[in-house]
Structure 1
Amino acid sequence: MLYKVTDGIENVTKDEIDSDTKIVGYVTMEELGKIYTRLDFSITTIRECTCEHDNFRSSMDVYDAYSFGIINIINIKAITGKRDRVGFYIKKNLFLVVSILDEDGSIEAVFEHTVKRTNTDTFSLEKFIYQFFDQLLYNDNSAIEGMGYHINMLEDEVLAGKIYESFNADLLSMKKQLLVLKNYYEQLIDIGEELQENANDLFEEETLRYFRMFTIKVMRLSDSTQMLRDSLVQLREAYEAYVNFNLNQIMKLFTEVTTIFMPLTLIVGWYGMNFTTMPEITWKYGYLFVILLSIVTIAIIWGFFKKKKIV
């Protein structure tokens, strides 16, 4: 779909694209293949769109007459899941978004929403680009805030000693998600800064503020993500302290039991030798004597532990 922006917004065909008219559009790879020569786009950029790799990095390249970039868009509700992927071309009076991977049509919906909210009286290409990129991050603030609340809840559970079985796995999952999110925002900051530099003079100086606004917003999101990563490190340390404390308590219990039974082991070993010269063997109160000796020994050790507040 291609739109011409004048006094209103009108659908146009690829043959109606005019360098003197402001055009915004969302096209498929097939549609791009039909118009890229007309728009003087390099075949290299087309190949980059169709190139298949497991991992992509969002980036932007600056050419003499246009800028080209690719964004791998994270679904904030499924950060480590499959990403949408779009390319974009920016020329004088032209902003073209290319659908590379948009199975659910979510990016197309964002573009259509941006078109519908466009005020033609104050329209500028820079403003439209800003609004489109801004809409891609629409839910990120609330999602990051929700992750912050979740981390706080986990901290409360650690303090209360309510550690569930998959707690450590959840920490590792959140750590991975925040790392992916941090890298994503850093890449968007790079794109925002490239647009601000305006190396090929596509934009008017006074409209570069839109790209500064976008870059600042992404920087705030990146900073918030970093704060969550720091909080996660502290949570991890609290969890490890909790585990170590419980382990120390178990070792303490084992030590106490060992200390109590060590003298009894000595007594058993001593009287288990059965030398005929041992008077307690033939003494009729010998058995009772050993029982009383064991009880007194345990009582003395237990009283010592109580006095020292060990138990």
Structure 2
Amino acid sequence: MPRQRIYRSKKKLGQVPGSVIYTGEKVKSQLFLEAFDFTKDNCSETQLQSVEHVFNFKDTPTVSWININGLNHVKQIEQLGQHYNIHPLVLEDIVNIAQRPKIDEFDDYLFLVLKMLYYDNDKNIVSEQVSFILGKNYVLSFQESEGDVFDTVRDRIRHAKGRVRSMSADYLLYTLIDAIVDHYFSVIEILGDKVEDFETAIFSNEVEEDTSKNIQDLKREILRVRRAIFPLREVLNRIEKNDNNLIHPKTLTYYRDIYDHLVQVSENIDIYREMIWSLMDMYMTSISNKMNEVMKVLTIMASIFIPLTFIAGVYGMNFQHMPELHYKYGYYIVWGVMVVIFAALLYYFKRKKWL
């Protein structure tokens, strides 16, 4: 029975633009709110109990990072959007996890969508949408659930490592994006190891029955990573070329550094993409060579036994007038001829290097 293709519509037909409808699968995740509010000399870290507590960080003179986990809590996200004057279409994009990495510019904030990639404990790739809103002195980040790649950023804020505590919110956004891009390198490294393992197995003829399926799965992983990474180059380009006063000119150098990293990651993705196609060709060639070896053995065996079968067939006929049948040494002579033919054919095949 043919497999049915399942179509999943991420946006319902006829839906009113700006409708905040969560399209993910983690519908039971808890709402988790954390806030880092800091200056060069002080830092406070708070786990907020309700979305109303986030409202206090909008107009403070300090730099604030508010991380919201739980996109299924759309009512709280709408309340947050109303207080921070976030456009309804932006709220819709935040909870629609099928968004392509992009950037939208508004008068008093920037909206960015990225894909956070990492491998879980079972070596399965995880792709999670992360949305950022950069304001004058704050950064709002939205995630589907707990668990991210920002632990190094949290540690730098807590212990005043690097420049993050002495810079403005645009630099904070840079550190968050940089943490995501750094994990792209970890994902690329694992993909590279997988490609090399397959290449070694195919060259050493250690392929298994499910090798073809595993190569196809790896190809899908590479394409999934490529779809998450390539559009981000356009996002960084627009940040570099925009004249929005939310990103200071001295911070653009750091964003250019992220762009350089993305170029490096993209080049590696293209290399592995070409290699995976080559691996499939190598695998099919290996299977074909094995089949050729089998066919060669069968052909040689058939070539040896065809003349022997002919002789046995001739003298196996039941005609009465066959002189050789009554010869005293006829049986031994036929056996001798068969052995000579067998040895001659083996010698001929070895001379031809077919054996």
TM-score, normalization: structure 2? 0.75
Whole-angstrom distance in 2 between the partners of 1:121 and 1:74: 26
Matched, 1:258 2:302: yes
Given the alignment, which residue of 173, 176, 196 partners 2:220?
A: 176
Matched, 1:215 2:259: yes
Q: Secondary structure at the match of 1:75?
A: strand
Q: Secondary structure at the match of 2:83?
A: coil
Match of 1:112 in 2: 154
Mapped contact 1:158–1:239 kept (Cα < 8 A): yes
Mapped contact 2:150–2:179 kept (Cα < 8 A): no
Q: Secondary structure at the match of 2:246?
A: coil
Mapped contact 1:62–1:68 kept (Cα < 8 A): yes
User: Bigger shift: 276-285 or 297-306?
Assistant: 276-285
Given the alignment, which residue of 43, 46, 53 partners 2:91?
A: 46
Aligned residues: 307
Mapped contact 1:186–1:222 kept (Cα < 8 A): yes
Give the partner amino acid of 1:27: I
Given the alignment, which residue of 87, 111, 116 partners 1:73?
A: 116
Mapped contact 2:133–2:139 kept (Cα < 8 A): yes
Cα RMSD (Å): 2.9
Matched, 1:234 2:234: no
Matched, 1:37 2:37: no
User: Bigger shift: 193-202 or 259-268?
Assistant: 193-202
Mapped contact 1:2–1:14 kept (Cα < 8 A): no
* Cα deviation 1:212-261 (Å, max 9, x = unaligned): 11121122112122222223333333333322222211111111011101
Whole-angstrom distance in 2 between the partners of 1:109 and 1:33: 27
> How big is the shift at 1:182?
1.6
Match of 2:43 in 1: 9
Mapped contact 1:114–1:132 kept (Cα < 8 A): no
Match of 1:243 in 2: 287
Q: Secondary structure at the match of 2:225?
A: helix
Match of 2:269 in 1: 225
Mapped contact 2:118–2:127 kept (Cα < 8 A): yes
> How big is the shift at 1:110?
5.8
Give the partner amino acid of 1:49: I
Q: Secondary structure at the match of 1:138?
A: helix
TM-score, normalization: structure 1? 0.84
Whole-angstrom distance in 1 between the partners of 2:107 and 2:132: 16
Given the alignment, which residue of 76, 98, 102 partners 2:145?
A: 102
Q: Secondary structure at the match of 2:84?
A: coil
Whole-angstrom distance in 2 between the partners of 1:63 and 1:225: 33
Q: Secondary structure at the match of 1:18?
A: coil
Q: Which runs of 5 or more residues in structure 1 are unaligned?
A: none
Counterpart mapping for 1:67-216 below 5 A: 67-77=110-120, 81-99=125-143, 101-103=144-146, 105-106=147-148, 109=151, 112-113=154-155, 115-116=157-158, 117=161, 119=163, 122-198=166-242, 200-216=244-260
Label 1:85 to 1:113 Cα distance change in 2 as closer, same or farther (>3 A).
farther
